[in-house]
Chains A and B, each alone.
Chain A
Amino acid sequence: MTEQISVPVSAAETGRAAAPEGRLASRTEKDAQPACAFEFTGSGSEYFRIWIVNLLLTIITFGVYSAWAKVRRLQYFYRNTRLDGDIFDYHGNPVAILKGRLLALVLLVAYKIASEFHWVFGAVVILALMAIMPWLLARAFRFKLANSSYRGLRFRFHGTVAQAYRMLILFPVILAITAFFIWSIVISFSGQPSWGLILVSLLVPLVVFGGAVPLAHYQLKHFQHDNAYFGQAPFFFHARAKEFFKIYGKAIVMLMLGGLATAVFAAMTGGLFEYLASTRLGWLFQLLYGMITAYISYLFVRPYLESRIQNLVWNNTELADHHFKSTAGTRKLLFIHASNLALIVLTLGLYKPFAVVRLAQYRVASLALLPNGAIEEFHADHSEDRAGAVGQEAGDLFDIDIAL
């Protein structure tokens, strides 16, 4: 056994010893080294069958199978993601996931019952959840990365819970303070509130969210990416909060312009709207009109945010001395989201697996690795990951899926 292991290790040693000269020699080639695009090889028709069987077994087993379903689903997406000819793999243990889900279910039921009794109970549960959210996220990241591998090497997440609290508690705290502030204002609405008060109670949360959301998103990505490792090789994250603010600022401007366009459209079609609203199905029409308008603006802003944030995050992430390049396009994503949505509605949901694969295909393909030298020079980290025994179930507690 020892001999078997020592053979490859010594081979690696010699490889490493040889590396410096090899690197010097290849320095000039390095610049010409082509970008390694990520590639997604899955197909909608294959995933459809996995999805439908997963769904049936999940329902038959009253959700117990959902943990196995999740592992099969993630394995499908990981193993169909390729880099430089080799695939990623997912090693999550379904039993650990099942335990996490059971715990989450218990908490969810507790929340539902509590909030049925009195909204204060519900609010307390929400606050408690917010308080443990950083811990949950740290566990989830750890579980996810510790169970991901490429070329036989595991990823790692070394972010500590203390770090998580330092970086991630900001958002829930701001949220809670704002909620309390608004609540106290609303409570003080006695009889006729002045317009100023109403305006304040509407504007304050807007301003607070405008400030808190981009910052929280930045902190989250920083925590997530800066603490990740591939074997012994660390990831670095050096995007700045300012850039998150810029992207969110533009998104808000887009939303406002969207609102303007909607207003113009509504004014132009006012007559028609009034006529439709006065018909027998008027209440339904008004409801649909509101929902569709909200959804359309969301549909436009979402791909913008998604693509820009993905590009920002990955273009500012490094793995040791390798860079990434992300080139997701807003228009392409918009097209994918819109057509996916339309087809899902038309097929009563049956198109969903195809839609998911289509989206994954585009998002994976928009990412590339710009290697500095060979990507064979990563080494395993043999320190025991304490995520093992204690953290695994908790890590998957709320099944927090953080996208690539």
Chain B
Amino acid sequence: MFFIFIPNLGYLFIVIIINTCSMDWSSLIKKVKTGEYDELELVYKTYRMEFIKWMMKSYKCSIDDAKDVYQQTIITFYENVINDKIQSYNSSIKTYIFAIGKNKFYTLTRDKNRFNLEIDDTIKMVSDDRNIKEDNLNKLEGVEKSLTILGDPCKKILELYYYHKKSMNDIAMELGLKNPETAKNMKYKCLKRLRIICQKEGV
């Protein structure tokens, strides 16, 4: 009988090691919220291998599809973190990410009736959270184009503020501005300029 318990003990031991080594919620949220892309990249790398193999095994999809699902999953995870949408911290980060992945997989397959994720599909996927219809997609792409015309640092300020939910303080720091007030004024000017470009572009 003793032999049967040895692998279980080993498994338990490894689980304990993994749990103690992996990130905990509070430090992760702090890092992802205040840090730059590196922090999210670390999350991406941490669960990548296991997630993609799990996706391929459990949902019988190709490696490229599994990677697409994972990237979408990480984006949703990121958005939930920065928007304070995570309601329970009882489950592990891994469990949480895998749960998002499961839903992502079903959303992506249900909406497309196929699992061929081309560039166009990616655009649709990117916007699917806000239920943006096809005709609105043109408008969004118009704004995107206008943002490129606008260029940095305006583009960056607007993205940091509206998408990444950075505070004016963080934006000022990141862009080397004098103070949050300067950042706030700059953000307004940039938005105004973007509006003018969009009007010129007929968006």
Chain A complexes with chain B? no
B residues bordering A, Cβ < 8 Å? none
